[in-house]
Amino acid sequence: MHFDIYWADVNPSVGREQSGHRPVLVVSNDIENQMEIITIIPITSRKEGRKIYPNELLMILEDQEAIILCHQVRTISKRRLTKKMATLGDHLKRQVIDILCMRFQ
């Protein structure tokens, strides 16, 4: 499950949090994933002209540009997950880890 992309229902949300039924990247490790909760990063589609910030990562998901919103790390119940979509490749995994580590410098 670590670095897998799933469809998830992340409602309800507050303010600028991502909401709705959307792709999420599971970033909790395999030990944490044995619990009822997991740590995720929401993914959003890229709109034309949308800037990619240093705390985000552009990727291709189902033949479309998508943005991993590394600044919106969130813990959710596993019951919010629906269908597995993909597993992140090693290069993208490394980039996500680098962005997450940058948050704490």
Q: What is the pLDDT of residues 65-90, one digit of tens each?
A: 999 999 999 999 999 999 999 999 99
- Specify the CATH number for the domain of residue 90: 2.30.30.110
Residue 66 belongs to what domain range?
Answer: 4-102
Task: Report how far residue 21's alpha carbon sits from residue 80's, in angstroms, rounded to the nearest whole number.
Answer: 9
% residues pLDDT > 70 (the chain): 95
What is the average pLDDT value for the chain, to the nearest integer?
A: 91
**pLDDT of 1:** 66
Positive or negative: CA dihedral 97, 58, 12, 87: negative
pLDDT at residue 22 above 80?
yes
Helix (H) or strand (E) holding 100: helix 90-102
pLDDT at residue 17 above 70?
no
Q: What is the pLDDT of residues 36-54, one digit of tens each?
A: 999 999 999 999 999 999 9
Domain count, the chain: 1
| Maximum CA extent, the chain | 40
